[in-house]
Amino acid sequence: MKEKKKEGVLDILKKVLFVDILKGLSVTVKYNVSRSVTIRYPDEEKWIPYQRFRGAHTLNKTEDGKELCVACELCVKACPTKCITVVPEEDDTGRGIADRVPKVWKVDLVRCLFCGYCEDACPTTAVRLGREYELACFSRDDAVREKERLLKPQEVPEGFEGGVVVSAKFERTKEGIRVKPDIWKPKDKNWWKKV
Amino acid sequence: MTEAVIEVAIIFIKVVVLGFILFSLPLPLTWIERKIAGHIQVRLGPFRVGPHGILQPFADMVKMLFKEDVIPEQADRFLFRVAPIISMVPVFMVFVAIPFGESWTIPFINKEVTLYVADMNVGLLYILAISGVAVYGIILGGWASNSKYALLGGLRSSAQMISYEVALTFACIGVVMLASSLNLIDIVKTQTGGLTNWNVFYLPVGPLWFIIFFIAGLAEINRIPFDLPEDEGTLAAGFHVEYSGIRFAYFMLAEYIAMVSMSVLAVVLFFGGWDDPTGLGFLPPIVWFLLKVGFFIYLFMWIRFTLPRYRYDQLMSIGWKILIPLSLLNILVTGWMII
């Protein structure tokens, strides 16, 4: 049998004067006047992930605008869910870095599990998993991304370090809604880590 | 004849104004409560409807009004409908006897109006009696729902009321002994003239009266840490688990108004009502009164988001083993001090 701990005079005095309750109240009132940690996501702020983040695919180009992809189809082979389709074609007009370029390069983001094997397989670092994470769409067909879309430059450039909350703008257009980040306006949201 | 008509008209206007204020009070209070909850938990609280979410209560109200009003098949349909009203009406009736100040002269026509609806000689008794009726709404609501959770909530509520009503009343008796009147206006008048005359600073028993009153009051209005009738951890939502739409809103309304009435009562009985603690008179008495009430409402919310809920047996032992003996002892000591 567990022996009941004897209460000293000090413990009883503590109980009578509500010391613990007052301590609790002082903690909560401190938090009541402190800053909040909420990221006001669609309206004012947005989280930019770290560089290691694996979001939606993107196809890179060289600095002079040539497609890096040589349609070798290694990403198709590496993909565990078979969500990438590549159809190669011959094109020597200088569109790509080689004569072999993709006619079709599409990825089905519904089936993709964002493992990043396609990045690893790619010999020319053409395919990268970017930092776009707002992938919601209205139909399954919308989730299939074609080459034209993937070739567009990313919203957050590859060199940007990330891991910060930046100010953003909520935009409502005919094409849909989007949250446009302003990556050069970071907001300090890490104050609570130092508390 | 005309004087009597004017008197009746003034009372009618007062009741309408008071009723309107009380009906609209839960709107700002829900917003404030959610904001306080948010900031205590380092969140923001409602933010999207209007600036800083200030229109959130209106959105909630519209939602409540348009929700389907479900009555369970096995429920007692009459009692199920009547229970929210039974719990709501008494908390409104309490305010009839509560004085918000002495009097106020209407500008331009120089007519003096009293800032209370009824000057009752047994005001305190009336309030305690009426607020005891409100628990019937909870018990009937729990019973009529024909649901296990709701019934348990109702049972807990009745047991809690029985044990804490006694302590609450005993805590008030000290104040009544000091003022030798049950009239709330007289009770406030005995406390006028600065901080030291307030009942809560009537040493050594004053603070004890207040603490007993406050703890029993928390239990009486079913707020955390004594909100066992609607204990969402074990009873889903307790007595109002089967209620939806506007009937649920009635229960919430009753809860918020009960919180206001308990704050008002604490101010009137222990914190000098509309008495100005500074004695300088740069704020009108009604502002002092509202400030004090506001502080108590904040205190209720602050406690809600600080303390966890007591277990049921702990609740009972606090009530019967500590509060009631302590309040009896307190009355004894008060008696000696007065003699």
Whether A28 sits inside 8 A of B40 (CB atoms) is yes
**What is the reported pLDDT for B279?**
67
Whether B306 sits inside 8 A of A21 (CB atoms) is yes
Q: How far off is chain B from A60, nearest CA to CA, in Å?
A: 38
Q: What mean pLDDT comes out for the span B191-199? A: 74
Q: What mean pLDDT comes out for the span A3-31? A: 80
Give A5's pLDDT tier (boundaries 50, 70, 90): low
**What is the reported pLDDT for A195?**
60
Whether A33 sits inside 8 A of B39 (CB atoms) is yes
**What is the reported pLDDT for A86?**
92
- pLDDT tens, position by position, A85-137: 999 998 888 888 888 889 999 999 999 999 989 999 999 888 988 888 888 88
Q: Can you list the pairs that B186-193 forms with residues at least 24 positions away whose Cβ atoms lie under 8 Å?
A: B187/B124, B187/B268, B187/B269, B187/B273, B188/B99, B188/B268, B188/B272, B188/B273, B188/B274, B188/B275, B191/B272, B191/B273, B191/B275, B192/B272, B192/B275, B193/B275, B193/B279
- pLDDT tens, position by position, B67-91: 888 888 888 888 888 888 888 888 8
**What is the reported pLDDT for A192?**
66
Whether A21 sits inside 8 A of B36 (CB atoms) is no
Mean pLDDT of chain B: 83
Domain annotation for chain A: domains and CATH numbers: 36-51+159-195 (no CATH), 54-153 (3.30.70.3270)
Query: In the 8-state DSSP scheme, what is residue B209?
Result: H
Interface confidence (ipTM) of the complex: 0.72
Cβ-Cβ contacts under 8 Å, B218 against chain A: none
Whether B42 sits inside 8 A of A28 (CB atoms) is no
- pLDDT tens, position by position, B155-174: 888 888 888 888 888 888 88
* Distances, alpha carbon B308 to alpha carbons A24, A141, B207, B211, in Å: 11, 49, 24, 19
User: Which of B145-149, B275-279, B306-310 shows the lowest mean pLDDT across its residues?
Assistant: B275-279
**What is the reported pLDDT for A3?**
61
- Judge contact between A157 and A131, C-beta under 8 A: no
Q: What mean pLDDT comes out for the span B275-283? A: 72
**What is the reported pLDDT for A79?**
92
Whether A31 sits inside 8 A of B303 (CB atoms) is no
What percent of chain B is modeled with pLDDT above 90?
Answer: 0
**What is the reported pLDDT for A4?**
64
Q: Which of B43, B303, B306 sits opposite A38 (nearest CB)?
A: B43
pLDDT at residue A2 is higher than 60: no
**What is the reported pLDDT for A81?**
92
pLDDT at residue A189 is higher than 60: yes
Q: Does A191 touch chain B (CB under 8 A)?
A: no
Q: How far off is chain A from B123, nearest CA to CA, in Å?
A: 32
Q: How far off is chain A from B56, nearest CA to CA, in Å?
A: 17
pLDDT at residue B268 is higher than 80: yes
Report which of A137, A178, A165 is spatially closest to residue A40, judged by C-alpha positions. A165
- pLDDT tens, position by position, A32-86: 888 888 888 888 888 888 888 898 899 988 888 888 888 888 999 999 999 999 9
CA dihedral over B57, B58, B59, B63, signed as positive or negative: positive
- Judge contact between B188 and B268, C-beta under 8 A: yes
Domain ranges of chain B: 1-66, 72-338
Cβ-Cβ contacts under 8 Å, A24 against chain B: 306-307
